[in-house]
Copies of this chain bind each other. A is one copy, B any other.
């Protein structure tokens, strides 16, 4: 048996991302021992029963003891509290990372508690499904997907390189950028689409003149694509919207300006303008499918 990359990895939280990380680490033999904390007994039992983790604790501080890599897999709003709880017991030289969809806020929350001898490297795997919980995870979730690392000013180069190797071991491609840029990019590619999907599903279900059962019956005509991401975990997303407020409000305002232009074209019966506005979006789909084919081909 080859030596694992880390003797002990601790995960705080065993939801979709945490449990998928367990599967992916097992698949690649990246961790000697996997320890985790989860708030509910049910999640801990499930994680142990499925063999996701070797040790399960109620308190984060118990899980991180002696761990060489600690990854926060929790709603981003909890980052500060957890950092405070685990700081006293983090192993000197350990890497501390996370998987949150927002990076600036996580850094702001964690930094005040961070011990000097711990390498803090925020991260975010761009992967997910609309399912939640420890049974939702699977080893392939990160395959061919991008994981973003946003090292802070004094992040140690060797630690960054090791965490990069870890994510590659989980099947990811890895990109490195600043937390600021991450938060803007994700506001566009992820936070705005989720906000809009939550909103449109809400609008449809509140419209008195059309029943929910009609909405469901005829969902194949477009609506269905929105319900998938609108089924994502509400607590996780509440935290994302609140903790990336500035960027989310900025792209939302751009979105609203564009909606205004589209609305006016419809109201004015301006077919030419309308067609021009909705034609420009086909190219990006083609480019996206090409890129995906290429990424899969490379591996």
Contacts and interface: CB of A to CB of B under 8 A. Distances in A.
Interface residues of A, number: 91
A277 B218 contact: no
Main secondary structure of the interface of A (DSSP, over half): helix
Interface in A256-299: 256, 258-259, 262-263, 266-267, 269, 271, 274-275, 277-282, 284-288, 291
Contacts of A287: 212, 216
Given A126-B218, A242-B271, A278-B238, A258 B185 contact: no
Given A193-B226, A200-B255, A227-B281, A218 B146 contact: yes
Interface in A187-244: 188-207, 209-210, 212, 214-231, 234-235, 237-239, 241-242
Contact of A266 (B196, B224, B241): B241
A127 to B, nearest CB: 6
Given A192-B200, A212-B284, A263 B249 contact: yes
B235 A275 contact: yes
A71 to B, nearest CB: 18
A189 B219 contact: yes
Of all A-B residue pairs in the complex, the 6 with the closest CB atoms, nearest first, are: A190-B221, A231-B285, A193-B222, A201-B281, A230-B281, A190-B222
